[in-house]
Amino acid sequence: MIFELELRMISINRRFINFPVSQLVLLLILFSLMIIVMIRQFWWKPLEREIKFLEKKISSNQSELNNLLPERFSKDLIQYETSPESPAKSLQALQES
């Protein structure tokens, strides 16, 4: 019984030692792919959720901008109308005040 077990272990060891290199390379590639998939699961999923959240926020902000009345902006634009003076004179007047 013990002798058979030892022979079996020796046989398993020989099989592992004689394992073809191409299959070892294939196992290494599969292991690497598994690690990449795990990284994607734990790292990319939160990023994808954050991107979706930001996209929703941008679309809601865009719809709010589209719903604003133009009169609200026209009052603000009156304050910033272009003056006939040159930009240098306007800057100088702002610095003096």
Mean pLDDT computed over 56-69:
79
Mean pLDDT computed over 47-52:
87
Prediction pTM value = 0.33
Question: At residue 84, what are phi and psi to the nearest 5 degrees?
Answer: -70, -10
Confidence band (pLDDT; 50, 70, 90) for 12?
low
Confidence band (pLDDT; 50, 70, 90) for 31?
very high
Confidence band (pLDDT; 50, 70, 90) for 5?
low
Domain borders along the chain are 2-79
Rounded CA separation 59/70 (Å): 20
